[in-house]
Structure 1
Amino acid sequence: MSDRQVSHEPRDDALAALLGPWLPHRRWFPAKGTDARVSALGGTSLADPQAEADVRVLLLRVESGSGESVLQVPLTLRPAVDSPDAPDDPALLVGTLPDGTRVRDGAGDPAFLRAWLADAESDPDSPVRSDQLGDPRVISGEQSNTSVILPGAGPGGRTAMLKVFRGLSAGENPDVDVPRALARVGWEHVPRPLAWMSARWPDRQGVVHGHLEVLSAFVPGAQDGFELACEVAGRGESFADLSRELGEVIAQMHVALAKALPVDDDDATRDPDPTDAPTHSRAHSPAHPDPSDPTGVGPGTTVRDPELDAEVPEHGSAAEHGSPAAHDLARSLTERYAWAAGIVPQLAEYREAVHSLADRVRILTGLPDRQRVHGDLHLGQVLRGDDTWYVLDFEGEPLRPMSERTRPDQPLRDAAGMLRSFDYAAAVGSAPDAWTRVAREAFWAGYTAESSVLDPALAAVLLRTLELDKALYEAVYEARNRPDWLPIPLHGIERLLA
């Protein structure tokens, strides 16, 4: 892989100063509401084939009370007087430097997009084109990254989609490598990566490598999964058939991931190292997606699947202490609850029930081996097009370190995230609990039809635990950001612990 080198130029500091008041208004800025310090790490320059603007991909260090992060802001720079065919776009304009240079956010600017297409590393079997670029369209509403639809940029002049990773992490970005690996094993439910760009930049410990952007195939006419579910719920129609198909695709995804990205036996079975395992009280948790935003919604409350009342399998005396994986899962649940209950007072009444469930989990044996998973799966991460489902955004939780995002996990964590999405769709669509229940049951039926590894009773307890873990996180987010939505996860918690 050919990395671009990041270096510091004098103008980078002036650009960082100009971006200072602009950044807090971006949805992807990680330090909203804090006294953040923004400085320029440096950047890399690209050449616009039409020489319409200077293109500078600027990397910024953002330091705040919640930690430190590295952001990417592609910029285009034009002289004080623009040519008539390149007027300022208020949606793109960042500001003006002291010398009159006008600075734009490059993500939606054709000058940056042409330059990127000309310099990116592409799949040799699917060359991309910078000379056929049509009018780009930035997708609104995203929280962590910026995606742009690029007509004419794909092979044969087809439409493609560019994702600009706003928050950068050292290491191979799974949203580049995982779809490439899945495509190699023939799994067709992921848009194929066509081109990508990576760079090396200075870090506190030295120089690190990571991805900047990825260009993927575009699915014409595809609809966002959450938007579709909200519309169906709003019409009072059943989502069962679509949900069952989705469950089948997610189960097939887990089979394909295990084949495409196998993990060694130690990683699959051992308990995570407690010295580097994430705790729920740390500040790396990303902002939860907005349920009113169809491009980035998170999962919601739950209606229990019929199998969730199944009894825990009997364990003899030799197994009464459970496996290390079960202990880890139980500990994770109680830690999540302690963190959430300290923030949301309404959760105090559930302490006994949560610890009772954790006790049941702690004695489990036979948990499935960990494997590569999606890591942040919900209805906003899937598309419906060509009469099938496509899965997107394998990046995981963007504010987590890359080593955590790629860590093997229980595949049912993905299923739990998707199941919990249905109630948010029902809330937006004003559908009754019955709509959610039918959608959940259909998804689980589709998933289990393609994945018969787990004992049903074991799966029931494991799924309940993972859903509860998610609902507790949601309760904290809603309490902090949208108190009117807090009843949704609280209702889910009550149902899961009944």
Structure 2
Amino acid sequence: MSDVDPDLSGVEAGLASYVAARRWFRGKARSIAAATLRDAIPLPVDGRRAWIGLVDVAYADGATDPYTLPLMTVDAEQAAAIRRERPHLVVRERADGGAVVDAVGDARVLRALLALIGRDAVIEHGGSVLRFRRTARALEAVDAEPRPIDVEQSNTSVVYGQSYILKVIRKIDEGVSADLEMGEFLTHAGYAHAPAVAGAIDLAYGGAEPATLGILHGFVRNRGDAWAFFLGRLAQIAERPPAPGADPLGDDRARVRLLATRVAEMHVALASRSDLAAFAPEPITRGERERMVEAVRGSLRTAFAELTGRRGSALPADAASLVAVLAPRARDFEARLDRFITREVAAWKTRVHGDLHLGQVLVSDDDFVIIDFEGEPARPLSERKAKRSPLADVAGLLRSLHYATVAAARARGTPEARGALQAWHVESSRELQRAYFAGTRGQSFQTAPGDVQAMLDFYALEKCVYEVLYELNNRPDWVAIPLAGLAEWIERTDDP
């Protein structure tokens, strides 16, 4: 611990166990050797002793990941209240009955962060430099009451009244975050269906490229995300299936069409600056397709090894029965991947969302707003910023529609309900693609019509394999959903 305030002495003793228990910690599958407080940058907060803590988590394999941990000291009375109401904020107990706590739970600290962004403050401490900056005009409502979102996520979000939402980024990656870079680009491009970026917090240290520690977005009034919305709609359909001959989508046809239109408009905006190398559309070469296939091939082999290793013991019965059908066809999956390389494909890549699903879309009034442009958290920053075919986002949404349909069918599995839900799934997938391609017709980045299905098939397989591995490690009871997706995929792509 280098040149850290004496008030934080002893905090490192329990730092590894504290960090390991947090939802935002990304290294849960790895063995932690030590966690050290590399720096604690003092924050100017009236009535509080607070810092932006920089924690280095060292693993047994020799690698190290840096994390953001805002810190604050509290007296015995305040510590007792935090232990009762929000015990997950207590980082370290102190001998005097007080504690060192995560400062995202304190209103004064959170108000100070917004004020620092509003005045473009710079704080230097040792070899670290914190830069708070506005990205647009002067901030409004800087005295709005902050409200941390207590549900632990991969980052920490704080809402300021009805004006802003600050994302405190926990895992520090060298370089500007994909979310900030994409958000600023879309804001300047005038895309109205993503939260506008209003400010940021950057960290420079040790000669490394400045990293993003926080992003301030305009607050979007919403009714929750599209995942919850469509699950509610599907529950209604399962309860009261449409009459024979009726439109299986009903009012949802217009909603799916609008969602697809917003995604198409986003892709048009992202491809609108051919003069910016980081965003200019480029053709996808055969060599790149070979690299894409090898990555998926490796993940596919890992997934089958995991599945066959668990089949007899840890897998739910529905998943085990699907594995029994799919495992003998492992070579068929690889043959389809080989075919993706050997055929000629005219396709383009641009910057894309990278992790688009219904949970990344807010329902705002009667419209949709797309959020969280960070990409898949498990990927390194360079991959999350890499250009891909926009069809990767389309495939992600199609997979999400499938997930929602299966989740609804699990909740109410009568034959009539399952039939109605399957009809909804088939027609919603068709409608989404129709509306999306109508919205991107004539764009320079559009894949040649004869190659669209091959690209969608590739990204659907990539997503299914990712989902299998994710569910095996996080929600084994759900792994049958992507396995069903794999079964549909291999059947659909079978040679005639």
Shorter-chain-normalised TM-score: which range?
0.7 to 0.9
Q: Which amino acid aligns with 2:71?
A: L
Q: Which amino acid counterpart does residue 155 of structure 2 have in structure 1?
A: N
Q: 8 Å contact 1:197–1:214 — kept in the other structure?
A: yes
Distance in structure 2 (CA, Å) of the matches to 1:232 and 1:266: 38
1:44 positional shift? 1.5
Matches within 5 A, 1:70-469: 70-82=66-78, 89-91=85-87, 92-120=89-117, 121-130=133-142, 132-138=143-149, 140=151, 142=153, 144-151=154-161, 158-202=162-206, 206-236=207-237, 238=249, 239-260=252-273, 262-263=276-277, 268-269=282-283, 323-345=286-308, 346=323, 347-430=326-409, 432-452=421-441, 453-469=446-462
Amino acid at match of 1:450: G
State how far apart, in whole Å, the 2-side matches of 1:380 and 1:465 are: 22
Contact in 1 for aligned 2:141/2:163 (Cα 8 Å):
no
- Give the letter aligned to residue 413 of structure 1: A
Question: 1:222 Cα deviation (Å)?
Answer: 3.6
CA contact under 8 A between 1:57 and 1:72: conserved in structure 2? yes
Percent identical residues: 28
CA apart distance, 1:80: 3.3
User: Could you report, residue by residue, the CA deviation over 1:9-47 in whole angstroms, capped at 9, with x for unpaired residues?
Assistant: 455563333433322322111232543121112122211
1:479 to 462, 466, 472: 472
Shift of 1:486: 1.6
CA contact (8 A) 1:18 1:97 kept: no
CA distance in 1 between partners of 2:82 and 2:278 (Å): 54
Once the two structures are superposed, residues 45-68 of structure 1 have per-residue CA deviations (whole angstroms, 9 ceiling, x without a partner) of: 2112xx232111111111225743
Cα–Cα, structure 1 residues 336 and 53, in superposed 2: closer, same or farther, change >3 Å?
Answer: same
> Would you say the 8 A contact 1:185–1:260 is kept in 2?
no
TM normalised by structure 1 equals 0.79
1:159–1:217 CA contact under 8 A, matched in 2: yes
1:69 to 65, 79, 88: 65
The CA RMSD over aligned residues, in Å, is 2.7
The aligned length equals 429
Give the drift of 1:416: 1.0
Indicate which of 470, 474, 478 corresponds to 2:463. 470
User: Does the 8 Å CA contact 1:16/1:40 hold for their aligned counterparts?
Assistant: yes
Alpha-carbon contact 2:273-2:280 (below 8 Å) kept: no
Q: Give 1:113's aligned amino acid.
A: L
In 1, distance between residues paired with 2:9 and 2:104? 20
The structure richer in helix per residue is: 2
Q: Distance in 1 between matches of 2:217 and 2:458?
A: 35
The residue type paired with residue 192 of structure 1 is A
1:493 CA displacement: 0.3
Unpaired segments ≥5 residues, structure 1: 1-5, 152-157, 272-322
Gaps of 5+ in 2: 118-132, 239-248, 309-322, 410-417, 492-496
Q: Which has the higher contact order (CA 8 A, sep 6+)?
A: 1
- Do 2:346 and 2:448's aligned partners in 1 also have CA atoms closer than 8 Å? no
CA distance in 1, matches of 2:459, 2:135: 38
Contact 1:42 1:60 in 2 (8 A): yes
Instruction: Give the match for residue 278 of structure 1.
Output: none
1:64 partner letter: Y
TM-aligned CA deviation for residue 128 of structure 1 = 4.1
Q: How far apart are 1:433 and its partner, in Å? A: 2.5
CA change 1:264–1:176 in 2 (3 A) is closer
